Amino acid sequence: MNVALNTASFAYRQTGYRGGDWGVACRTSREHFSPPATFRGRIAELLDEVRSLGYHDIELWHFHLHQRWWTPGHVNALQDELGQRGMRVVAYCGGVGDDLDEVRRGVELMTALDIPLFAGGGAMFSRERPEVVRVFREAGRVFAYENHPEPTPAAVLETVGPEDAGTLGVTIDTGWFGTQGYPADDAVRALRGRLRHVHLKDVRAAGTHETCGFGEGVVPLRAVVQALRETGYTGVLSVEHEPELFGPGPDLAAARRQLDGWLAETAQERA
């Protein structure tokens, strides 16, 4: 299993960590990263921080490079900065787009950056599923639907529908299953045949979505890693933590150390 850091973890940074709703986090992130003249420097700062926290690959949140406003200049700058650091983008996440043109632009961005998988959802998937799936299929990209807001694995599978020759799969967000009060390790086992990606996240309590450091909440993360071992999962573990009132850096660094330990322990247990 490969470990990555989800850049959505920094969603509230441009709000000054003063709280606020998710829409404000999205808007301020867009305003910060969209201008072409400053994008290279700002994305370089983000990548340097990711490396300093112990991560070498990223999952790119769409408000750091959005379907609607990306340009070839943005792509070239990101490719250069990734290459200088030996980093990769292993997934693209967020909403799939507000219309089919935006879906296509998102897939074109994934192709330009050699990103194999999209993790997320959105109303477009529900409204125009066949067309959305066709765009991904023709580009050879995977759409891995995230369990948000579905409360159970059965509900996720009902939303996702048939596999479609490997194009359609599932992203498990362990935090959202924690919010719903569903054991995330049981979800791994229930979705084993469709699981393509994992957002590894802890939350303070069921019924809320206040993310927290690993081990500080209700999600049985070590048991999740063990279940992933048992089911033969070999994909990405994307660490995610989006606090509204403080920077996530120390928690993300600690999460990497904890996760490395769990991966080593569960590998020995399976040997």
pLDDT score of 271 more than 80 = no
CA distances from 7 to 10, 101, 146, 170 (A): 6, 24, 16, 20
Nearest to 145 by CA among 177, 169, 176: 169
For range 188-208, the mean pLDDT: 98
| Residue 245 DSSP label | S
Domain assignment present for residue 23? The answer is yes
Residue 108 to residue 106: CA distance in whole angstroms: 5
Q: Average pLDDT for residues 58-80, to the nearest whole number?
A: 99
Task: Tell me the torsion sign for CA atoms 75, 78, 84, 87.
Answer: negative
Q: How many CB atoms lie within 10 A of CB 102?
A: 18
Residue 248 lies in a domain: yes
Report the CATH number that the domain containing residue 186 is assigned in CATH. 3.20.20.150
Q: How confident is the model at residue 269 (pLDDT cuts 50, 70, 90)?
A: confident
Task: Say if 94 falls within a structural domain.
Answer: yes
CA contacts within 13 A on the Cβ side of 257: 10
Instruction: For residues 42 and 112, give the distance between their C-alpha atoms in angstroms, rounded to a whole number.
Output: 20
∠189-110-239 over CA atoms, to 5°? 45
Confidence of residue 200 (pLDDT cuts 50, 70, 90): very high
Tokens 């049981």, located at residue: 186
**pLDDT tier, 104 (very low <50, low <70, confident <90, very high otherwise):** very high
Q: Is the pLDDT of residue 270 over 90?
A: no
Please check whether residue 162 lies inside any domain of the structure. Answer: yes
For position 214, what pLDDT does the model report? 99
CA distance 184 to 202: 10
pLDDT computed for residue 53 by the predictor: 99
> For position 163, what pLDDT does the model report?
86
Q: 20 pLDDT band (50/70/90 cuts)?
A: confident
Q: Is 84 exposed, middle or buried (0-12, 13-18, 19+ CB in 10 A)?
A: exposed
Instruction: Please check whether residue 192 lies inside any domain of the structure.
Output: yes
Beta-carbon contacts of residue 38 (< 8 Å; ≥ 6 apart): none
Distances (CA, A) of 93 to 19, 123, 138, 182: 22, 15, 19, 23
Domain contains 271? no
Could you tell me if residue 46 is inside a domain? yes
Q: What is the mean pLDDT of the chain?
A: 98
The pLDDT of residue 170 is above 80: yes
Q: Which domain holds residue 97?
A: 2-266
pLDDT, one tens digit per residue, over 233-252 is 999 999 999 999 999 999 99
Q: Give residue 225's pLDDT.
A: 99
Instruction: Please count the structural domains in the chain.
Output: 1
* Cα 117 versus chain centre, distance: 10
The whole-angstrom separation of Cα 209 and Cα 242 is 10
d(CA 116, CA 236): 11
Q: What is the mean pLDDT of residues 23-30?
A: 98
In the structure encoding, which two tokens stand for residue 49, read together?
A: 């921080």
Q: Quote the CA–CA distance of 69 and 46 in Å, as a whole number.
A: 19
- For residue 264, give every residue at least 6 positions away whose Cβ sits within 8 Å of its Cβ, in sequence order, or none: none
